Amino acid sequence: MSFLGKIFGGKKGDKTPTTGEAIQKLRETEEMLMKKQDFLEKKIVQEVDIAKKNGTKNKRAAIQALKRKKRYEKQLQQIDGTLSTIEMQREALEGANTNTAVLQTMKSAAEALKHAHQHMDVDQVHDMMDDIAEQQDVAREISDAISNPVAFGQDVDEEELERELEALEQEELDEALLNTGPAPELPNVPVAEPVAAPKAKPRAKVEDDDDLKELESWAA
């Protein structure tokens, strides 16, 4: 039986593990192999120390230590390769597990959508949409009819109304003129000519006459 077969219990008739179980097994195997790596790395260091100590004293012991070191290094390389393989397999399983979850979700959504559409008929939906559109048109017509002002007396002649208005204005003007009363009496115009005022005597001439009288009195 192979190494992986021992890990997953690969016997005929055994139940196939789920992706989650397989991923968990691979992680446990990775941890075990990494512990084995640490052990081998320590053994390699020990064998190197033994070879150094016996290099000049006991050549045979030093060579045996180096041989064991080579075996440990070979095992370490094998473990490195195994870990790389397990890591790639684990990543593939994790990707498959994710894809499985996504597909299950999409399948559930498709079934739910199918179940929802079972209660719908395309023709009924179209008829319903036509009814809605028709009712919207009716509502729009009602709104337009309500918003338009009621047209009372639209048959009245505008020119006739203007003539009637002019007659009313003329009537008011006539009444205003009749209510003004008689005009106030004006004063009589005088017939005789006005008497002219006496002209004032020039001041210079008066002074000359006074001087002349005083001269005549002194000469007498």
Containing structural domain, residue 55? 37-101
Domain tally for the chain?
1
Neighbours of 82 (CB within 10 A): 16
Task: Say what the pTM is.
Answer: 0.43
Distance CA 56, CA 58 (A): 6
Span of 19-23, 73-77, 142-146, 204-208 with lowest mean pLDDT: 204-208
What are the pLDDT digits (tens) for 19-71? 888 889 999 999 999 999 999 999 999 999 999 988 878 889 999 999 999 99
Whether 72 is in a domain gets the answer yes
Whether 64 is in a domain gets the answer yes
Residue type at position 31 = E
- In this prediction, residue 185 has a pLDDT band, given cuts at 50, 70 and 90, of low
Whether 49 is in a domain gets the answer yes
- In this prediction, residue 144 has a pLDDT band, given cuts at 50, 70 and 90, of confident
Whether 43 is in a domain gets the answer yes
What are the pLDDT digits (tens) for 155-183? 667 788 788 878 888 888 888 888 775 55
Structure confidence at residue 86 (pLDDT): 94
Neighbours of 22 (CB within 10 A): 19
- In this prediction, residue 1 has a pLDDT band, given cuts at 50, 70 and 90, of very low
Rounded mean pLDDT of 184-201? 57
Burial class, 17, CB count within 10 angstroms (exposed 0-12 / middle 13-18 / buried 19+): middle
Whether 159 is in a domain gets the answer no
Whether 130 is in a domain gets the answer no
Whether 26 is in a domain gets the answer no
Structure confidence at residue 87 (pLDDT): 93
Do 66 and 60 form a contact (C-beta atoms < 8 A)? no
Rounded mean pLDDT of 133-138? 90
- Measured N-to-C along each axis, helices 19-53 and 59-118 cross at an angle, to the nearest 10 degrees, of 170
Average pLDDT in the chain: 79
Which CATH number is 46's domain given? 1.10.287.1060
Q: Decide which of 94 and 150 is more confident.
A: 94
What are the pLDDT digits (tens) for 98-134? 888 888 899 999 888 888 877 777 777 788 888 899 8
Whether 171 is in a domain gets the answer no
Structure confidence at residue 16 (pLDDT): 83
